[in-house]
Amino acid sequence: MITRHWRRRHNLYKLVGSRCRSCGRVFYPYSQRCIYCGSREVEQARLEGDARLVSYSIVYSVSDEAKYEAPVILGMVDIGGVKVIAELTDVSPGEVEAGMSLEPVLRRVTVNGESGLIYYAVKFRPRLGGSGSGGD
Protein backbone atom coordinates (compact mmCIF):
# COMPACT_ATOMS: atom_id res chain seq x y z
CA MET A 1 0.00 0.00 0.00
CA ILE A 2 2.81 2.42 0.82
CA THR A 3 4.52 1.78 -2.54
CA ARG A 4 1.28 2.28 -4.49
CA HIS A 5 0.60 5.51 -2.62
CA TRP A 6 4.12 6.75 -3.41
CA ARG A 7 3.66 6.03 -7.13
CA ARG A 8 0.45 8.09 -7.10
CA ARG A 9 1.98 11.00 -5.15
CA HIS A 10 1.84 13.45 -8.09
CA ASN A 11 -1.91 12.91 -8.47
CA LEU A 12 -2.50 12.99 -4.73
CA TYR A 13 -0.21 15.83 -3.64
CA LYS A 14 -0.17 18.06 -6.72
CA LEU A 15 -2.64 18.86 -9.41
CA VAL A 16 -0.72 17.24 -12.26
CA GLY A 17 -2.63 16.22 -15.34
CA SER A 18 -1.72 15.35 -18.91
CA ARG A 19 -1.39 17.52 -22.00
CA CYS A 20 -1.72 15.64 -25.29
CA ARG A 21 0.77 16.76 -27.91
CA SER A 22 -1.42 15.29 -30.66
CA CYS A 23 -4.81 16.89 -29.96
CA GLY A 24 -3.74 19.60 -27.47
CA ARG A 25 -6.30 18.70 -24.79
CA VAL A 26 -5.48 18.74 -21.08
CA PHE A 27 -7.08 16.27 -18.67
CA TYR A 28 -6.83 15.03 -15.10
CA PRO A 29 -5.57 12.83 -13.54
CA TYR A 30 -2.30 12.16 -15.31
CA SER A 31 -2.34 9.30 -17.79
CA GLN A 32 0.24 8.10 -20.30
CA ARG A 33 -2.49 7.83 -22.95
CA CYS A 34 -4.79 10.64 -24.07
CA ILE A 35 -8.36 9.99 -22.96
CA TYR A 36 -9.66 11.93 -25.98
CA CYS A 37 -7.66 10.69 -28.99
CA GLY A 38 -5.73 7.70 -27.59
CA SER A 39 -2.29 9.13 -28.41
CA ARG A 40 0.67 8.20 -26.24
CA GLU A 41 2.26 11.58 -26.98
CA VAL A 42 1.43 13.15 -23.61
CA GLU A 43 3.36 15.25 -21.14
CA GLN A 44 2.70 16.27 -17.56
CA ALA A 45 0.74 19.49 -17.14
CA ARG A 46 0.31 21.30 -13.85
CA LEU A 47 -3.28 22.50 -13.40
CA GLU A 48 -3.31 26.14 -12.46
CA GLY A 49 -5.66 29.06 -12.58
CA ASP A 50 -8.97 30.02 -11.04
CA ALA A 51 -10.89 27.08 -9.58
CA ARG A 52 -14.68 27.18 -9.61
CA LEU A 53 -17.22 24.68 -8.32
CA VAL A 54 -19.31 23.46 -11.26
CA SER A 55 -21.56 21.05 -9.35
CA TYR A 56 -21.52 19.05 -6.15
CA SER A 57 -23.05 16.19 -4.22
CA ILE A 58 -23.38 15.76 -0.47
CA VAL A 59 -22.78 12.19 0.69
CA TYR A 60 -24.33 11.33 4.04
CA SER A 61 -23.93 7.56 3.93
CA VAL A 62 -20.20 6.85 4.27
CA SER A 63 -17.96 3.97 5.32
CA ASP A 64 -17.16 3.34 8.99
CA GLU A 65 -13.66 4.82 8.45
CA ALA A 66 -15.17 8.13 7.30
CA LYS A 67 -18.09 8.34 9.70
CA TYR A 68 -16.50 11.18 11.69
CA GLU A 69 -16.12 13.22 8.51
CA ALA A 70 -19.71 12.85 7.32
CA PRO A 71 -21.25 14.42 5.44
CA VAL A 72 -18.66 14.39 2.65
CA ILE A 73 -19.00 17.00 -0.08
CA LEU A 74 -17.78 15.91 -3.50
CA GLY A 75 -17.50 18.47 -6.24
CA MET A 76 -16.73 18.86 -9.91
CA VAL A 77 -14.17 21.64 -9.99
CA ASP A 78 -13.15 23.54 -13.12
CA ILE A 79 -9.51 24.64 -13.11
CA GLY A 80 -8.66 26.55 -16.25
CA GLY A 81 -11.07 24.48 -18.33
CA VAL A 82 -10.04 21.11 -16.86
CA LYS A 83 -12.63 19.25 -14.77
CA VAL A 84 -11.50 17.59 -11.53
CA ILE A 85 -13.63 15.52 -9.16
CA ALA A 86 -12.49 16.22 -5.60
CA GLU A 87 -13.59 16.42 -2.00
CA LEU A 88 -14.41 19.83 -0.55
CA THR A 89 -13.15 20.73 2.91
CA ASP A 90 -13.49 23.58 5.40
CA VAL A 91 -17.08 24.21 4.33
CA SER A 92 -20.48 23.04 5.59
CA PRO A 93 -23.19 21.72 3.27
CA GLY A 94 -25.28 24.85 3.76
CA GLU A 95 -22.46 27.10 2.54
CA VAL A 96 -21.76 25.26 -0.71
CA GLU A 97 -23.03 26.70 -3.98
CA ALA A 98 -22.21 26.14 -7.62
CA GLY A 99 -19.91 28.82 -9.01
CA MET A 100 -18.07 29.46 -5.76
CA SER A 101 -14.35 30.22 -5.98
CA LEU A 102 -12.12 27.46 -4.59
CA GLU A 103 -8.46 26.83 -3.88
CA PRO A 104 -6.56 23.56 -3.58
CA VAL A 105 -5.19 22.53 -0.16
CA LEU A 106 -3.34 19.47 1.09
CA ARG A 107 -5.33 17.57 3.72
CA ARG A 108 -4.97 14.34 5.67
CA VAL A 109 -7.06 11.51 4.27
CA THR A 110 -6.30 8.58 6.57
CA VAL A 111 -3.74 6.99 8.87
CA ASN A 112 -2.49 3.45 8.28
CA GLY A 113 -3.01 1.64 11.59
CA GLU A 114 -0.15 -0.82 11.03
CA SER A 115 2.61 1.49 9.84
CA GLY A 116 1.36 4.80 11.23
CA LEU A 117 1.83 6.35 7.78
CA ILE A 118 -0.37 9.41 7.27
CA TYR A 119 -1.89 9.69 3.80
CA TYR A 120 -2.60 13.11 2.30
CA ALA A 121 -4.41 14.29 -0.83
CA VAL A 122 -5.43 17.52 -2.53
CA LYS A 123 -8.88 18.75 -1.56
CA PHE A 124 -10.56 22.08 -2.28
CA ARG A 125 -11.83 24.73 0.10
CA PRO A 126 -13.54 28.07 -0.48
CA ARG A 127 -10.95 30.62 -1.55
CA LEU A 128 -9.89 32.65 1.47
CA GLY A 129 -10.76 36.30 0.90
CA GLY A 130 -12.11 35.10 -2.42
CA SER A 131 -14.61 36.64 -4.71
CA GLY A 132 -17.46 34.36 -3.60
CA SER A 133 -19.80 32.73 -6.08
CA GLY A 134 -19.81 32.91 -9.83
CA GLY A 135 -22.67 35.41 -9.74
CA ASP A 136 -20.50 38.27 -8.48
- In this predicted structure, the answer to whether residue 124 has a pLDDT above a threshold of 60 is yes
Lowest mean pLDDT among 6-20, 25-39, 76-90, 115-129: 6-20
**H helical segments located in the chain:** 2-7, 9-13
Which uninterrupted H or E stretch holds 125? strand 118-126
State the CB neighbour count (10 A cutoff) for residue 65: 10
Instruction: Report pLDDT digits (tens) over 35-70.
Output: 999 999 999 999 988 999 999 999 998 888 777 788
**What residue type is 122 in one-letter code?**
V
Structural domains in the chain, CATH included, are 1-47 (no CATH), 49-127 (2.40.50)
* 8 confidence band (pLDDT: 50, 70, 90): low
Spatial distance between the Cα atoms of 49 and 41, rounded to a whole number of angstroms? 24
- Spatial CA neighbour of 88 closest among 43, 34, 97: 97
